[in-house]
Amino acid sequence: MEFIKSNKFNIILIALALVIPFGVYPVFLMKVLCFGLFAAAFNLMLGFVGMLSFGHAAFLATGGYVTGYLMSNADLTPELGILCGTLASAVLGYLFGSLSVKREGIYFAMVTLALSQLLFFFFLQAPFTEGENGLQGIPRGKLFGFIDLNNNLSMYYFVLAVFLLGFWLIYRSVHSPFGQVLKAIRENEPRAISLGYSVRQYKLMAFVLSAALSGLAGSTKALVFQLESLTDAHWQMSGEVVLMTLVGGMGTIFGPLVGAAVVVGIENFFSGGELGTYIHIIMGLIFIICVLAFRNGIVGEFNKFVKNNF
Amino acid sequence: MSEQIILETRNLTKGFKGFTAVDNVNLKIQRGQIHALIGPNGAGKTTVFNLLTKYLTPSSGQILFKGQDITALEASAIAQLGLVRSFQISAVFPRLTVLENVRIALQRKEGNSFQFWKSDKVLERLNPRAEALLADVGLLDFAQATTLDLPYGRKRALELATTLALDPEMLLLDEPTQGMGHEDVAVVAALIKKVSAERTILMVEHNLHVVSQLADRITVLQRGAVLTEGDYATVSADPRVKEAYLGVAADEEVAA
């Protein structure tokens, strides 16, 4: 455990992240990083506040659509395009959060699902999303006006930087005075109220943070694939992020990234072959095995193993 | 005279679908006293507590704290005014350490609880105060233990330390000795006596021995309404109280 928390471990990981695109296809890696950030943002709500949102696709898609539209039509630099997408998701998060954090458990999940479905049909009908076709050929642009991101390697390092920033912010939030209150709310909400904390405001704040970071992931993903489609807004995407978080280990820092790598990896592995049509059955089986056999997820079980044996 | 009353209820009533759990209760709690709320099971004691701290909304009636009408306030706002409650089942944060439990309470007044960009190391400056509070309840040796692993009596002591960390003017204790062994009861009773020095305490308590030792004034509830009120001698001599408890009160007194 000590090693995982140490700086050495982080430096090794970052060094690995810097050289890995020379061995592995960068677009695949970027996909993992984007979904890893998305799952980590989602985990901020599920793992650290204990609230299961079933509408996080809304924030991923909003970030993607706003960034995609602006990059295609407003000639922004990519960093500004991503910033706008992230802000749009934060605003949407405030709206959805205000309506949903008053509810708990299954009711919270249902309200977030309903709101995200509303948004799905809005994106389906709205003229600027191009409906079923989605936004295609989104330009990646030049970072700060001079670094051409059409080179996959440059794009990878940019995505890695975005990911590290987002990931650091999540880590910081979890290990901050604010994060301490979130943990207290997760552990015993009535008691947190009795100590004078207006729990709803803390939940709303966490929700907005989580939505903004999901938007950051969506915005970045739209640039990576130069595509934004309704898949991102669909409720299945909200389910997929739950799957990633649970497979990796909810409430752990690295779990969502590992979960995203596993899920994206499996999808990529099967999507080309004959088993492609069975992908949802395979994912369903993995989910069932995870829930039944190792509830703490991959990282959760690993942490437990290390704690018990060293 | 009115300044001596810290908490007052006027015709406090709570009905649940055709059943009146609390019926026109008028309470006046004197500043600085230990006031006990007793009564047989289902008399509405805990419901009164939940109404006072806004975990339930009254059907009608008023609640005044320090002369201010708090009937419409939120639960967290009432805690911020200095009226803090404990719970029947020990209310701790199980997967935080003992020290962190107390620190959560101290943290609120620091005003940094929304700062997600700061390291939680800034909370370490609260450690000496948290440790002093833990020492008061005899838990200093367990400061770094995970709260989950504490025995029940110690969890209740921790809960008390956490509550005291808020330095509340008035404490509402819901059955502080419930489920405790004999020795722990004595320890907690002594603790309550100690902390009551600068505060007002309203407590629900089943252990009449503890009530007889601690309470300056006792209100007896029966079927949601106030049956009688007075000091222990007056209340225990009242035949209606004995009847309400079906003689249980008298037996318990002998047993204790």
Q: DSSP states of A167-224 as a string?
A: HHHHHHHHTSHHHHHHHHHHH-HHHHHHTT--HHHHHHHHHHHHHHHHHHHHHHHHHH
Cβ–Cβ gap B76/A196 under 8 Å: yes
| Average pLDDT score over residue span A45-58 | 92
Domain total in chain B? 2
| Average pLDDT score over residue span B155-160 | 86
Task: Pick from B113, B122, B162 the residue to mutate for testing the A interface (most A CBs within 10 Å).
Answer: B113
The pLDDT of residue B248: 52
Q: B200 lies in a domain?
A: yes
The pLDDT of residue A203: 95
| Average pLDDT score over residue span B165-194 | 84
State how far residue A158 is from chain B, nearest Cα, in angstroms: 23
| Average pLDDT score over residue span A93-108 | 92
Strand partners, B201: B34, B171
Q: Are residues B87 and B194 in the same domain?
A: yes
Cβ–Cβ gap A196/B118 under 8 Å: no
Q: Are residues B79 and B118 in the same domain?
A: no
The pLDDT of residue B49: 87
Which of A177, A184, A205 is opposite residue B118, by nearest beta carbon?
Answer: A177
Q: Are residues B232 and B191 in the same domain?
A: yes
| Average pLDDT score over residue span B11-36 | 88
Q: In the predicted model, is pLDDT for residue B247 greater than 60?
A: no
Measured N-to-C along each axis, helices B98-107 and A177-187 cross at an angle, to the nearest 10 degrees, of 110
Q: Are residues B246 and B173 in the same domain?
A: yes
Q: Which of A62-76, A274-288, B117-131, B162-176 has the lowest mean pLDDT?
A: A274-288
Which of B91, B117, B119 is opposite residue A194, by nearest beta carbon?
Answer: B91
Cβ–Cβ gap B113/A181 under 8 Å: yes
Quick one: B104 exposed, middle or buried, by C-beta within 10 A (0-12, 13-18, 19+)?
Answer: buried
The pLDDT of residue A109: 93
Q: What is the mean pLDDT of chain B?
A: 85
The pLDDT of residue B55: 86
| Average pLDDT score over residue span B141-157 | 87
Q: In the predicted model, is pLDDT for residue A87 greater than 90?
A: yes
State how far residue A187 is from chain B, nearest Cα, in angstroms: 5
The CATH number covering residue B219 comes to: 3.40.50.300
| Average pLDDT score over residue span A227-235 | 89
Cβ–Cβ gap B75/A176 under 8 Å: no
Q: Are residues B25 and B82 in the same domain?
A: yes
Tally C-beta pairs within 8 A across A and B. 102
pLDDT tens across B87-141, in order?
A: 777 789 999 999 999 999 999 888 788 888 888 888 888 889 999 989 888 888 8
B116 touching A (Cβ < 8 Å): yes
What CA–CA distance (Å, rounded) separates A257 from A47? 14
B79 touching A (Cβ < 8 Å): yes
Q: In the predicted model, is pLDDT for residue A192 greater than 70?
A: yes
Provide, rounded to the nearest whole percent, the portion of chain B with pLDDT above 70.
94
Q: Are residues B177 and B234 in the same domain?
A: yes
Residues 35-64 of A with CB under 8 A from B: none
Task: Pick from B93, B98, B100, B172 the residue to mutate for testing the A interface (most A CBs within 10 Å).
Answer: B93
Q: Are residues B7 and B87 in the same domain?
A: yes
Q: Are residues B105 and B79 in the same domain?
A: no
| Average pLDDT score over residue span B156-173 | 88
Q: Are residues B110 and B48 in the same domain?
A: no
- Closest chain A residue to the Cα of B148, Cα to Cα: A187
The pLDDT of residue B256: 42
Q: What is the mean pLDDT of chain A?
A: 88
Q: Are residues B136 and B249 in the same domain?
A: no
- Closest chain A residue to the Cα of B77, Cα to Cα: A196
For residues A70 and A135, the answer to whether their CB atoms sit within 8 Å is no
The pLDDT of residue B254: 46
- Closest chain B residue to the Cα of A187, Cα to Cα: B93
Q: Is B9 helix (H, G, I), strand (E, B) or coil?
A: strand
The highest-confidence range among A204-213, B82-91, B117-126, B219-228, by mean pLDDT, is: A204-213
B115 touching A (Cβ < 8 Å): yes
Q: B52 lies in a domain?
A: yes
Do β-strands B170-174 and B200-204 pair in parallel, antiparallel, or remain unpaired?
Answer: parallel
Q: B156 lies in a domain?
A: no
| Average pLDDT score over residue span A181-192 | 92
Residues of B in contact with A180 (CB under 8 A): 100, 103-104, 107, 113, 120, 123
- Closest chain A residue to the Cα of B105, Cα to Cα: A195
For residues A4 and A203, the answer to whether their CB atoms sit within 8 Å is no
Q: B162 lies in a domain?
A: no
pLDDT tens across A133-185, in order?
A: 888 888 887 788 777 778 888 899 999 999 999 999 999 999 999 999 999 99
Q: B164 lies in a domain?
A: no
- Closest chain A residue to the Cα of B87, Cα to Cα: A191
Q: B22 lies in a domain?
A: yes
Q: Give how far the C-alpha of residue A309 lies from the chain's centroid of Cα atoms, to the nearest Å.
A: 32
**Span between the terminal Cα atoms of chain B, in Å:** 36
| Average pLDDT score over residue span B60-81 | 90
What CA–CA distance (Å, rounded) separates A100 from B168? 32
The highest-confidence range among A54-63, A283-292, B219-228, B241-250, by mean pLDDT, is: A54-63
* Structure-model confidence comparison of residues A235 and B89, the more confident one: A235
Provide, rounded to the nearest whole percent, the portion of chain B with pLDDT above 90.
13
Domain carrying residue B60: 2-92+169-255
Confidence of residue B213 (pLDDT cuts 50, 70, 90): confident
The pLDDT of residue A14: 85
Cβ–Cβ gap A183/B85 under 8 Å: no
For residues B147 and B93, the answer to whether their CB atoms sit within 8 Å is yes
Q: Are residues B13 and B135 in the same domain?
A: no
Task: Pick from A170, A178, A189, A191 the residue to mutate for testing the B interface (most B CBs within 10 Å).
Answer: A191
- Closest chain B residue to the Cα of A185, Cα to Cα: B93
Cβ–Cβ gap B77/A195 under 8 Å: no
The pLDDT of residue B46: 86
Q: Of A264, A212, A215, whose CA–CA distance to A60 is shortest?
A: A215
Q: In the predicted model, is pLDDT for residue B249 greater than 50?
A: no
Q: Which of B57-66, B209-218, B229-238 has the lowest mean pLDDT?
A: B229-238
Cβ–Cβ gap B120/A181 under 8 Å: no
ipTM of the complex: 0.79
For residues A180 and A202, the answer to whether their CB atoms sit within 8 Å is no
Q: B239 lies in a domain?
A: yes
Q: Are residues B102 and B198 in the same domain?
A: no
Strand partners, B228: B220
What CA–CA distance (Å, rounded) separates A134 from A123? 9
* Structure-model confidence comparison of residues B244 and A303, the more confident one: A303
Length of chain B in terms of residues written: 256
Confidence of residue B252 (pLDDT cuts 50, 70, 90): low
Q: B182 lies in a domain?
A: yes
The pLDDT of residue B3: 59
Q: In the predicted model, is pLDDT for residue B1 greater than 90?
A: no
B95 touching A (Cβ < 8 Å): yes
